[in-house]
Amino acid sequence: MYLFQSEMNLKKEDIIFIINPNSGKRKPDVLINKIKKIDKEFAIYISRSLDDFNRFIKQNINKYKVFVIAGGDGTINETAKHLFARKDKALAIIPLGSGNGFAREMGFQIKLDELVESVMRCDTFDCDVIEINNNKFINVAGIGFDACVAHIFDKRKKRGLMNYILATVECLRKFKNFEATLQFEDKEINKKFSMITFANTRQFGNNAYIAPKAIPHDGKLDVVMIEPLPFFRYPGLIYNMFRGKIKDSKYITHKQISKELVLNTDFDQFHLDGEPVFLNGNSKIKIHEKSLRLVKTDKLKFK
């Protein structure tokens, strides 16, 4: 583990709480009151839009040392882009999203008193960041069925697990398998797939584990390739995800890669940390080892 240097002398004014009011069901005022109840001196900022969020961090990146982000995986992803390779900055999370995959893996919980204790301890660690065609992500990215779900879920007016399940059911009806070629470590795989997942941590969110072997600071990218499944096998796949028991089979292949990977496919629907994106043609995927610093919590899921 990595510690803040002692000469930093972390003070309350070095910490900023940034709240995405569009994440979660709670009103920002409730969270603000809880923060102020712990200490009225903490700085708090409510972002009004993505542009506003990014503008504020850019303008204040040198003013604060710890950025405590209240939001979902998409908000955390945006923050990580600003803190990337900044070893003088650290990220902490108040999970407010639908899945909170990254926050769950890093042991962040909604209990503010415990979070503040972790921040003030100044104990931190570094995790990997993955990049696809200059787009960075820190949790899980994918192409295929899970990307289909992300794109449909993004269009739904309401969030939450139930709406995610409804988006999944819709994809089961309309999704078509795709062909792709993967090149890595002098190997080439060309097949039809239902989905290909690139994982830095173990889970999508809501404790749905797609890559049970993934460790976010080992310098390796976990690639889970799922070939076309008979329809009746999908319930078993989903069940095993929530049990954390996905294993290699004639349909599922799990590889750990430490060098650059090239993906070539005509399928253009991706997701990066759950956020839908379109990527065309060749995609180059690489690892930036231990390039994001986070506050260490007592609930950290890995050693």
- pLDDT over 60 (residue 4): no
Per-residue model confidence (pLDDT) at position 132? 94
**Of residues 196 and 230, which shows the higher confidence score?**
196
Amino acid at 148: C
Residue 174 clears pLDDT 90, i.e. is over it: no
Which stretch of 87-101, 158-172, 176-190 has the lowest confidence by average pLDDT?
A: 158-172
Going by pLDDT thresholds of 50, 70 and 90, the confidence category of residue 160 is: low
Average pLDDT over residues 3-10: 51
Mean pLDDT, range 167-178, rounded to an integer? 86
pTM for this prediction? 0.89
CATH architecture assignment, domain 2-128: 3-Layer(aba) Sandwich (3.40)
- Confidence bin at 149 (pLDDT 50/70/90): confident
Q: What is the pLDDT of residue 237?
A: 86
DSSP 250: S
Distances (CA, A) of 198 to 105, 234, 239, 260: 16, 20, 20, 12
CATH number of this structure's domain 135-289: 2.60.200.40
> In the predicted model, is pLDDT for residue 6 greater than 50?
no
What mean pLDDT comes out for the span 280-292? 91
Percent of the chain with pLDDT over 90: 59
Q: If you write DSSP's letter for every residue of 93-136 in order, what string do you get?
A: EEE-SSSBHHHHHTT--S-HHHHHHHHHHTEEEEEEEEEETTEE
DSSP 212: T
The radius of gyration of the chain's CA atoms, rounded to the nearest angstrom, is 19
- Please tell me if the domain spanning 2-128 has the same topology as the one spanning 135-289: no
For residue 53, the model assigns a pLDDT of: 93
Domain ranges of the chain: 2-128, 135-289
d(CA 293, CA 103): 14
Is 7 exposed, middle or buried (CB count within 10 Å of its CB: 0-12, 13-18, 19+)?
A: exposed
| Per-residue pLDDT tens over the stretch 218-269 | 999 999 999 998 878 888 888 888 888 898 889 999 999 998 999 999 999 9
